[in-house]
């Protein structure tokens, strides 16, 4: 269980109620009533997906494999494979699930390699960013390798509908990243503009992952429902990650977004609550010495909880889309996971 993904959940609050006979996929879990039960349901599929992912980052070019494995070995939430597995299970997808699960993760890995070069990030998943170890050129080109492999995989494991929708999602991601770059340091970005950027940059791919199994099995109505679910959860997930920027122990430096004066939903709420905060930030980025006190001030203002409330509202809207799917443990697990992605920061 990834330590970042389960942040904020106490062992007492997560009680496993698992029928051991179901862990090999031969029988459904009796109850999906918490994150532990979700992860137990997913365990066999995630193991296969992880094994397939490690195969897919292999390359005859040594440095490409080294850069890709460096990031894969650092771990991560594996949210996108989880959503693909559960969405596919909910609609009875019978194709190559381990490969389909890797598509979104490969896109994500490629985008992280690119982003860290663009942002000049010094740390990713509690270790130096890949570009500091292998150089900018090798890191960028390995990101391209991951993206290309993902597109090929979407075509072979999901078919025309899946790869077409993936191309649309990746296009939106690129637009979102450019919007974020253009608006870097601009505290005048509106809430609507921020949410539009998040929808493109983060939610588009998560939406595809949730719908991939339905797209690959020719179920357009189910694909549309799962895409709506994924979009809402994707926005909520990014908002929650923005909240976690103010917390230690996430694998990234605390306050990285704040130090860059990157407009996020917590900061929008903080500027509305703390007189003069916007003017202080517009005058210059906080220094490393100033950052801890500023983080504490923002936390005390209630801005983080306000952002989480908006994320919860997005999840509640997203969960309604699941009513269009047939009942079953995978649909139940999607409900639990959707709520948990926000509550991990509570």
Judged against a pLDDT cut of 50, whether residue 11 lies above it is answered with no
pLDDT at 23: 31
- What confidence category does residue 250 fall into, taking pLDDT thresholds of 50, 70 and 90? low
pLDDT at 308: 94
- What confidence category does residue 346 fall into, taking pLDDT thresholds of 50, 70 and 90? low
Provide mean pLDDT across the span 269-280. 95
pLDDT at 252: 55
Looking at the domain assignment, is residue 134 inside a domain?
yes
Number of domains in the chain: 1
Provide mean pLDDT across the span 167-181. 93
Looking at the domain assignment, is residue 3 inside a domain?
no
CATH code of the domain covering residue 337:
1.10.600.10
pLDDT at 194: 87
Judged against a pLDDT cut of 50, whether residue 143 lies above it is answered with yes
- The fraction of the chain above a pLDDT of 90, given in percent, is 73
Looking at the domain assignment, is residue 6 inside a domain?
no
- What confidence category does residue 247 fall into, taking pLDDT thresholds of 50, 70 and 90? confident
Interior CA angle at 209 toward 207 and 213, to 5°?
A: 115
pLDDT at 17: 31
Judged against a pLDDT cut of 50, whether residue 66 lies above it is answered with yes
**Mean of per-residue pLDDT scores for the chain:** 88
Burial of 221 (0-12, 13-18, 19+ CB in 10 A): exposed
Looking at the domain assignment, is residue 5 inside a domain?
no
Looking at the domain assignment, is residue 203 inside a domain?
yes
Q: What is the pLDDT of residues 215-236, one digit of tens each?
A: 999 999 999 999 999 999 999 9
pLDDT at 139: 97
Q: Give the number of C-alpha atoms closer than 13 A to the C-alpha of residue 304, restricted to the C-beta side.
A: 20
Structure tokens at 83: 């959503």
- The fraction of the chain above a pLDDT of 70, given in percent, is 89
Q: What is the pLDDT of residues 82-110, one digit of tens each?
A: 999 999 999 999 999 999 999 999 999 99
Residue 242's domain comprises 11-343
- How far apart CA 199 and CA 207 sit, in angstroms, is 10
Which pTM does this prediction carry? 0.86
Looking at the domain assignment, is residue 2 inside a domain?
no
Cβ contact 91:214 at 8 Å: yes
Judged against a pLDDT cut of 80, whether residue 129 lies above it is answered with yes
Judged against a pLDDT cut of 70, whether residue 125 lies above it is answered with yes
Judged against a pLDDT cut of 60, whether residue 274 lies above it is answered with yes
- How far apart CA 248 and CA 8 sit, in angstroms, is 12
Looking at the domain assignment, is residue 222 inside a domain?
yes
Contacts of 106 (CB under 8 A, 6+ apart): 53, 56, 57, 146, 147, 149, 150, 153
- What confidence category does residue 253 fall into, taking pLDDT thresholds of 50, 70 and 90? low
- How far apart CA 70 and CA 57 sit, in angstroms, is 10
């Amino acid at each position: 269980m990834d330590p970042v993904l389960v942040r904020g959940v106490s062992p007492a609050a997560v009680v496993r109620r698992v029928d051991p006979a179901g862990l090999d996929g031969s029988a459904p879990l009796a109850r999906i009533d918490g994150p532990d039960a979700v992860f137990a349901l997913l365990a066999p599929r995630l193991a296969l997906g992880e094994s397939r992912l490690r195969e897919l980052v292999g390359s005859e070019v040594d440095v490409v494999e080294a850069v890709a494995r460096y990031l894969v070995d650092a771990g991560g939430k594996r949210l996108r494979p989880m959503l693909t597995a559960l969405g596919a299970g909910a609609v009875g997808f019978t194709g190559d699930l381990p490969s389909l699960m890797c598509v979104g993760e490969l896109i994500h890995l490629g985008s992280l390699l690119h982003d860290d070069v663009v942002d000049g990030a010094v740390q990713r998943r509690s270790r130096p960013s890949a570009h500091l170890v292998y150089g900018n050129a090798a890191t960028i080109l390995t990101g391209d390798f991951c993206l290309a492999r993902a597109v090929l995989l979407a075509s072979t494991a999901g078919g025309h509908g899946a790869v077409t929708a993936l191309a649309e999602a990746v296009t939106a991601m690129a637009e979102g990243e450019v919007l974020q770059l253009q608006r870097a340091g601009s505290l005048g970005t509106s809430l609507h503009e921020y949410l539009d950027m998040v929808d493109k940059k983060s939610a588009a791919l998560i939406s595809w992952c949730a719908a991939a199994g339905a797209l690959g099995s020719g179920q357009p109505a189910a694909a549309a429902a799962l895409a709506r679910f994924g979009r809402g959860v994707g926005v909520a997930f990014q908002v929650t990650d923005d909240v976690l920027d103010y917390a230690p122990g996430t694998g990234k430096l605390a306050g990285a977004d704040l130090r860059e004066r990157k407009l996020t939903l917590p900061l929008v709420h903080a500027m509305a609550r703390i007189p003069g905060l916007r003017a202080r930030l517009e005058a210059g980025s906080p220094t490393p010495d100033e950052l801890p006190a500023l983080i504490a001030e923002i936390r005390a203002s209630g801005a983080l909880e306000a952002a989480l409330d908006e994320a919860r509202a997005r999840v509640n809207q997203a969960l309604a889309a699941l009513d269009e799917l047939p009942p079953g443990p995978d649909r139940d697990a999607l409900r639990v996971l959707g709520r948990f992605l926000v509550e991990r920061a509570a």
